[in-house]
């Protein structure tokens, strides 16, 4: 799809987007970027709503970035719903949807220069998905260079991603402020995710194990790390269809695992496979 739907202009090329944004900036407008891979849900719309509060012009990028999927991952099956996504963005005041092809983003095919996520990028999600965060940072770096936004908005559900993007912006002196919006959940606590659409009713029910684990971890927080880890992992005992990948407690400042006797603010990260669908979630806790 190219062109306009209601007030939204769908822009497939870098050159056109830059031209449009230059005009808006010349008129004094500030710009916010909401990077997405499409298959939009209410969690994305919360990012857009926040972006609207922060800047005059909101750009939503929709690009399923092949660089952040490893061999055997769900790149081919990742939902691509551009028309519905553009419809969903027509209401909330988005001016531009940047929807490039892979050839537009990576015209030379294999990318020669990539960003490297470093030590934290090889832990947790990075350990299960080698290269994922290098690919993610590379495309986010490109998007920040293309859009040159005053602010970019990310979701807390991808807590490790947020940490790494913030560090990259800091390390590379990128003049964009990074804003984070709390995770949007279903009424029963399931974190919204584009991958939830793959869950059949049985797996949808089983997916609640992640939030149950986070609640159990939070309830045990005053008893210290060992209890948090034990209670969190115990939530995974009941479901044959749910395989725990990791449940870790990290320091929010460093994103490294906390010490055994740690006290104070921490973040519990959890990832699990529910049927064939990989889900992640996290929660802030206070270790006592």
Q: Is 194 annotated as a binding residue?
A: yes
Nearest approach, Cβ of residue 192 and ligand PAF (Å): 12
Active site residues: 44
Nearest approach, Cβ of residue 143 and ligand PAF (Å): 7
* Cβ 271 vs Cβ 214: under 8 Å: no
Closest alpha carbon to 237 in 202, 272, 201, 286: 272
Q: Is 157 annotated as a binding residue?
A: yes
Nearer Cβ to ligand PAF (221/279): 279
Q: Which residues bind ligand PAF (CB under 6 A)?
A: 35-37, 65, 68, 136, 139-140, 158, 161
Tokens 């309830």: give the residue. Answer: 219
* Residues contacting 159, CB < 8 A, separation 6+: 267, 269, 282
SS3 36: strand
* Cβ 125 vs Cβ 164: under 8 Å: no
* Cβ 164 vs Cβ 140: under 8 Å: no
Nearer Cβ to ligand PAF (134/150): 134
Nearer Cβ to ligand PAF (33/216): 33
Nearest approach, Cβ of residue 26 and ligand PAF (Å): 28
Q: Give the span between the Cα atoms of 92 and 236, in whole angstroms.
A: 38
Q: Is 195 annotated as a binding residue?
A: yes
Task: List, as residue ranges, the binding site.
Answer: 37-44, 68, 155-158, 161, 184, 192-195
Instruction: Output the known binding site for ATP.
Output: 37-44, 155-158, 184, 192-195
Annotated binding-site members for (R)-pantoate: 68, 161
């Amino acid at each position: 799809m190219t062109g306009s739907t209601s007030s939204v202009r769908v822009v497939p090329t870098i050159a056109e987007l830059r031209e449009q944004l230059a005009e808006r900036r010349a008129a004094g407008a500030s710009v916010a970027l909401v990077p997405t891979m499409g298959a939009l849900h209410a969690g994305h719309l919360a990012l857009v709503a926040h972006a609207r509060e922060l800047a005059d012009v909101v750009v939503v990028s929709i690009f399923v970035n092949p660089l952040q999927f490893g061999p055997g991952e769900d790149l081919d099956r990742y939902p691509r719903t551009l028309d519905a996504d553009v419809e969903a963005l027509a209401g909330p005041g988005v001016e531009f949807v940047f929807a490039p092809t892979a050839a537009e983003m990576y015209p030379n095919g294999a990318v020669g220069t990539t960003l490297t996520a470093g030590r934290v990028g090889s832990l947790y999600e990075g350990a299960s998905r080698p290269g994922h965060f290098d690919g993610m940072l590379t495309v986010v770096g490109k998007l920040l260079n293309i859009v040159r936004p005053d602010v970019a908005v990310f979701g807390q559900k991808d807590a490790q991603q947020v940490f790494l993007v913030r560090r990259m912006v800091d390390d590379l002196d990128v003049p964009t402020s990074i804003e984070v919006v709390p995770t949007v959940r279903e009424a029963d606590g399931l974190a919204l995710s584009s991958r939830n659409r793959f869950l059949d009713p049985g797996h949808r029910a089983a997916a609640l194990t992640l939030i149950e684990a986070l609640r159990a971890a939070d309830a045990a927080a005053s008893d210290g790390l060992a209890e948090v880890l034990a209670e969190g992992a115990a939530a995974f005992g009941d479901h044959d269809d749910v395989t725990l990948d990791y449940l870790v407690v990290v320091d929010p400042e460093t994103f490294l695992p906390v010490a055994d006797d740690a006290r104070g603010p921490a973040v519990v990260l959890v990832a699990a496979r529910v049927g064939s669908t990989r889900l992640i979630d996290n929660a802030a806790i206070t270790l006592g």
